[in-house]
Every structure is written in C-alpha cells, then in structure tokens.
Amino acid sequence: MRVLVVFAHPLTDSLNGALHQAIVDGLRDAGHEVDDMDLYAEGFNPVLSAEERKSYFDVEANRARLEDYAARIAAAEGLVCCFPVWCLGPPAIFKGFWDRALVPGVAFRFDEGGALKPDLKQIRRAATVATYSRGRNSFLWLGDGPRRLMTRYLRPFLASGARISYFGLYDLQKGDPSKPTRFIAKIRNEMARF
C-alpha cells in the first residue's frame, strides 16, 4: 500500500520526531511504500491567501497551486498523521495544510445538486499519532478537537468504511518517565500491522 505520512513538528530530535521515525520504520517493515511528507522540512506555506480564498471553488486553480501535494495525496492509499497538540489543536502548519489541501478538486467535489462528493476514496486506512501535555479527561471535557478532526471530520473524504485509528499520548508532564518510550514502541508495532 502507498502510505502518505504527514509530519508536523519543527524538531526532528523531539518525542514527535521519534514517533515520526517509528511510524516510517514500522510502515516500511510491513512492506508499505512510504511518502514521507515533513511539512516543516519541506517549507510548506500554511497561509491561505486572499486570492486562494476568493477562488476556493476553482478546481483547476486549486490543483495548480498545490500540484505536487495534490498528486501525493491522490497517490495515497493510506494516510498517517503525526503532530503535537498545542493550544488545544494541531500546529498551525498542519491546520494550514488541511485548509489548503482539503479543497475542491483535491479532496472533494460538488455534484450538480451541490452535494459534496469525496475524491479521496482510494484511501482505505488512516491513523493519527498525537501527543498532549494535558490529561485525557481535560481534553474530553473540551471536546478533544484534534481527535474529532482526524476521526470524524476526515471520514467523509475517505473510502466508505475506511479504518481510522487515533493514538493519543496524553499527560506528558506527569506520570511514568518511561511512558514515551513505551508509546514509541507501541506506534512502531501498530504501523507494522497497518
């Protein structure tokens, strides 16, 4: 399977960097073809310009603006995202990626009646790996926006019945100092079974 990995953390030597590497290694160990998209390393511009917003429904303009990214998304049969949760959400570069990439002509289209039709039906499997500084209960009370974004919002764009997994490492500031190491091992194993 061709798997697109979308990584969003500025430091490769961070916990998220180690998780990113575990994801890539686990997927490759399982024999998947990996397209490793490191948004920071690639210098992705997350800013949706006024011109882009004005031409949001222009399919050809959307594809032209994001030609390389659109092609990589279209080629993916699986999707794995890895990011930290900052200020109750993913990093701005990651959110900007979705704002600019999940657009008409790349992720979906509208039929003659105005109904949304998904264009990522080739993606049959998706997973997210996220790290949180607060405990799970805090995020449940606040609605856990990152989890909902990646498990509910994304679902209609993908293949019908696509398997979606979410792996959150909560409460990083407290608890057992070996928890991150165990989580890295868990993620590598999960990706080896992707």
Domain spans in the chain, listed from the N-terminal domain onward: 2-192
61-70, 118-127, 179-188, range with the lowest pLDDT: 61-70
Query: What was the pLDDT predicted at 114?
Result: 86
pLDDT level of residue 135 (50, 70, 90 thresholds):
low
Whether the per-residue pLDDT at 183 is higher than 80: the answer is yes
> Which CATH number fits the domain 2-192, given the four candidates 3.40.50.360, 1.10.10.60, 3.10.129.10, 1.25.40.10?
3.40.50.360
Whether the per-residue pLDDT at 85 is higher than 70: the answer is yes
pLDDT level of residue 177 (50, 70, 90 thresholds):
confident
- Secondary structure, 3-state, the chain: CEEEEEECCCCCCCHHHHHHHHHHHHHHHCCCEEEEEECCCCCCCCCCCHHHHHCCCCHHHHHHHCHHHHHHHHHCCEEEEEEECECCECCHHHHHHHHHHCCECCCEEECCCCCEEECECCCCEEEEEEECCCCHHHHHHHCCHHHHHHHHHCHHHECCCCEEEEEEECCCCCCCCCHHHHHHHHHHHHHHCC
32-41, 43-52, 56-65, 133-142, range with the lowest pLDDT: 133-142
39-48, 49-58, 90-99, 133-142, range with the lowest pLDDT: 133-142
